[in-house]
Amino acid sequence: MDPLSPLEQALHAARALVLADLVAGDVAQADVVSLVEDSVVQRRWWVEQWPEGAPFVAGLVAQDVQDALLDRYGRWPLCPVCGTGDPHALGVEPELGPDPHWVCSEAGVRVAPVGGLARATGGGPAS
């Protein structure tokens, strides 16, 4: 077997990061996982057209899944930072760039890197 190409590595990493955040939010049911797979298929096509975009794939898959979940499940991931006010979802920044993070636009804070929500939501060891 050939070693994984950089594009495949980026896609695998994106899939793993977004799945980790879904598990952290306790929404990783089978139909939700299939949303991730759908996004990875589409982004594979996208990154094949534009290989320089490989570092951006994780943020894009996160946003794809967020959009898809809004129809089926509701807002995801809910902001773990703001204790008051209406529940609201985190956003991905940069929308198209490397090293994507979940951010709360209300509080103006970076909550966690994409793939790191478990630590931000108390799923990991406290610091």
Paired with 93 in beta bridges are 101
What are the residues binding Zn ion (CB under 5 A)?
79, 81-82, 104, 106-107
Backbone φ and ψ of 116, nearest 5°: -115, 20
Question: Whose Cβ is closer to Zn ion: residue 43's or residue 101's?
Answer: 101
User: Rounded to the nearest whole angstrom, what is the least distance from the CB of residue 39 to Zn ion in the complex?
Assistant: 24
User: Rounded to the nearest whole angstrom, what is the least distance from the CB of residue 81 to Zn ion in the complex?
Assistant: 5
Question: Whose Cβ is closer to Zn ion: residue 11's or residue 117's?
Answer: 117
Cβ atoms of 98 and 84 within 8 Å: the answer is no
What is the rounded CA–CA span in Å between residue 37 and residue 80? Answer: 26
User: Rounded to the nearest whole angstrom, what is the least distance from the CB of residue 7 to Zn ion in the complex?
Assistant: 34
